[in-house]
Structure formats: C-alpha cells, structure tokens
Amino acid sequence: MSLLSRRTSGPAVSAAAVRAALARVEDPELHLPLEQAGMLGEVRIDRSGLVRVTVRLTTSSCPMQASLSADVTAAAGAVAGVTGVEVVFTAMSEAERRRLAARLRGTRPEDAPPFGPDSATRVYAVASGKGGVGKSTLTANLAVALAQQGKRVGVLDADVWGYSVPHLFGVRRAPVALHGTMLPVEAFGVALMSVGFFVRDDEPVVWRGPMLHKAIEQFLRDVYWGELDVLLIDLPPGTGDVTLSLLELVPDAALLVVTTPQPAAQTVAQRVGRMARDLRMPVAGVVENMSALVCSSCHASTPLFGTGGGECLARAIAAPLLGQVPLDLDLRAAGDSGIPAMVATPHAHSVSQIRQIAAALPAPRRSLVGRPLPLSVP
Ligand SMILES: Nc1ncnc2c1ncn2[C@@H]1O[C@H](COP(=O)(O)OP(=O)(O)OP(=O)(O)O)[C@@H](O)[C@H]1O
C-alpha cells in the first residue's frame, strides 16, 4: 500500500535530513522509534522534492497503518524542500521479525520476575468479592483516565472466564505475535492483553489450574509491555486460583478493592482484604461503585443499593476509601458501546469521579514478601 501527499517544489532535500526528522516517529503499538524497531526502510527523494518512505510493518494486516502514515507524512513533510510524501508499507521478513523480537525481549534474564522490585511500573490488581460490581468497567475507565493524564498504561485482563476488556474497549483482533513475544493491542491510548483476543465470543474458556497459571504467566512474561507507568490487572471476582497465581507472580502489585454500597457486598469483599493481609500484600484502597443514582434534572439522590458499604469495607480492611462512583446510565451505555465513558461521555458525573480516583491513586507500597526485614539486634 502507498499513500501520497504533495505540494509544489522547493530547495534540494537530503535523505539524512528526512531520516533525522523521522527519528521521532514511533510505532503506535511498540512505542519505539521506527528506526530502532527496524521498521524504517528506504528513504528516496526525487528531484522535485518528493520523498518516498518505506515502512516495514510487523504484520501486513497492521491496523495502525493510517496513523503511522499520518505521522510519517507529517514528520517528513516538515523538512524544508519536501514537496510531497509517499509512504509505502511492506511486511517485515521473518529474519527482521526475529531480530525485533530479540530486541524487545531485551536483556531481562529469563528467570527475572516481570514487574519485579526493579521495575518502575506501578501495578494495581483490581479485585472484588463478587461479580458484577463494576470491577472491569472501573479498570477500563481508570486506565483511560491515567492515559489521558499522560501516563503509559497497560491493562491485563486476568478475568479469564469472564473477560470483558475486549468488549469494553471495542477491540476484537489477535495481538501480533513475534517469535515468542506478543504485542499488546492498543486502544484509547492503553496497551491491552486479554484471553478474549484469542477465543471466539461463543467459545467457553475451559482452562483449569496449571493452564490458567501458564496463561497468566505468559501474559506477564511474554507480552512486550514496554516502559509502563501503570499496569492495571482486572482480576476475576473472589479469591480463586487466578488471583493467587497472579499475586504470586507480581508480589509488588497493590490491591484496589471494588465494592457496591450494599452491606452484603462489602462483607464478601472483606474476604479479599483478608487474603491481602494473609499474603502480606499492600492494599491501595477501596472504590465504592454503584453509589446513589443522582437525577440529572432534579438532582435527587436515590441510593438504590443502600449506603455505607465502601466506608465500612475501608474501615474493616484499614485501607483508604478512594472514591464513590455513582450509578450512571452513561457509564453502562459506554461500556456496551465499546467506547470507554472516559472518552464517550467525559462530562458524566461518574466519569469525573473516576478521573479523580485515577489522579489520586496512591503509589503501591512495596510488598514485604521475600524481602529481608530491616531488623538489627543491638
Ligand atoms: N457505576 C455504574 N453505573 C451503571 N452501571 C454500571 C456501573 N458500573 C458498572 N456498571 C454496569 O454493571 C455491569 C457489570 O459491570 P462489570 O462487568 O464492570 O462488573 P465486574 O465486576 O467486572 O463483573 P465480573 O467480575 O462478573 O466480570 C455492566 O453492565 C456495567 O456497564
């Protein structure tokens, strides 16, 4: 495929000047400059100042072609004397893909834990006592809010049986696989990985213990997450196998516990708090979701699911209550449409609450698991 844009002729242009301008263009999924990713091919300039740039894609069906083409055209087109830019897309050869995969794996030793103590990524595991309390909806919107605040954010959908991240972000395509390394799918500025990208909608996930553990491990180790500021992990409800596997693999994750205001829901959510305590895992805080519904015209507040659950849970597990997100039709409708409410209805009341929670997320305390305690005997 080739894309061309043109204007009238100017001074002579050097390929070095165009390459220098293209040095800033990043692949939108790898977040690496094209040159560094081995994606920048030939740069040719004819006498009239028309530049022809070849970009080698990781896969010929790369869905990012339009945005890549726009970025390359803008960067090369800004060089003095360039009269037009033609972007030609080709696919990488197997050898090039292998080289890129090796570069992405980088220097991390095989047995080094992903997002371990040396990582700068803040990892939050979003948990709930029971299903349907809005854990995935909050994860998705918190992620978009953080991305909108300029953070590099990833979402790992560890809710393997009840995955909803592909649906919430409106994406249904298999991640690019490069010789043992998978690239997350990018949507709304967030890097995503989910079992849902690998199975059909009507296909049940029937994995059990060891397979689940392996899948989660692969999502952490074999996915090229890049330099994330924040990774949000959408856990399955409860305190089952996946949750335990994950927390074992990422001991520095901090829990975000989601509950509804109902006393019964917060009692169930306390189990998650107890699990965190038993695992000596930090709890970043509690989010109460589905709090009172506020009428948009008369502003009357109706506590459909009661009141006080978030506060009560926060007290019970000695964690801060980070915020209360009201019941909101806009939030539900956006989730169904595949455009997170943070983008679809940015002025909705629920959205501003989520935005505030994202802005004030406490940095995880490092877990004590496997660390020597700073004790000394006088
Ligand atoms: N604050 C809210 N106001 C209105 N609807 C909401 C709100 N939060 C979530 N929902 C809706 O509630 C339903 C359940 O939400 P969601 O799937 O996020 O829950 P969950 O806790 O992740 O469930 P599960 O663990 O079973 O996957 C969805 O239809 C979602 O759109």
- Model-level pTM greater than 0.90? no
Take residue 123 and report the two structure tokens written for it.
């990892």
Question: Is 129 annotated among the ligand-binding residues?
Answer: yes
Domain containing residue 67: 2-104
**Number of domains observed in the structure of the chain:** 2
Taking 50 as the threshold, does the pLDDT of residue 333 lie above it?
yes
ipTM rounded to 2 decimals: 0.98
Residue 112 maps to a domain: no
| 373: pLDDT strictly greater than 60 | no
**SS3 labels along 119-183:** CCCEEEEEEECCCCCCHHHHHHHHHHHHHHCCCCEEEEECCCCCCCHHHHCCCCCCCCEECCEEC
The predicted-structure confidence for 75-91, as pLDDT tens digits, reads as follows 999 999 999 999 999 99
Looking at the fold, whether 65 and 210 belong to one and the same domain comes out as: no
pLDDT value at 374 more than 50: no
Average pLDDT, the chain: 86
Do 211 and 278 have their domain in common? yes
Is residue 331 within 6 Å of ligand 1 at its C-beta? yes
Same domain, 140 and 268: yes
19 plus 155 within the same structural domain: no
Q: How far is the CA of 290 from the centre of ligand 1 (A)?
A: 9
136 in contact with ligand 1, CB cutoff 6 A: yes
Flag whether 81 is marked binding.
no
Q: Residue 6 is inside which H or E element, if any? A: strand 2-6
CB atoms within 10 A of CB 76: 26
70 and 167 housed in the same domain: no
In a domain, 204, yes or no: yes
What is the domain-level CATH number for residue 79? 3.30.300.130
Q: Answer yes or no: is 11 within a domain.
A: yes
Query: Looking at the structure, do residues 136 and 231 belong to the same domain, yes or no?
Result: yes
pLDDT at 376: 47
* CA–centroid distance, residue 137 to ligand 1 (Å): 6
CB of 332 shorter than 6 A to ligand 1: yes
Question: Would you say residue 375 lies in a domain?
Answer: no
Q: According to the model, what pLDDT value does residue 323 have?
A: 96
Please give the distance, rounded to the nearest whole angstrom, from the Cα atom of residue 243 to the centre of ligand 1.
19
Based on the domain organization, do 53 and 139 belong to the same domain? no
Is 134 within any annotated ligand binding site? Answer: yes
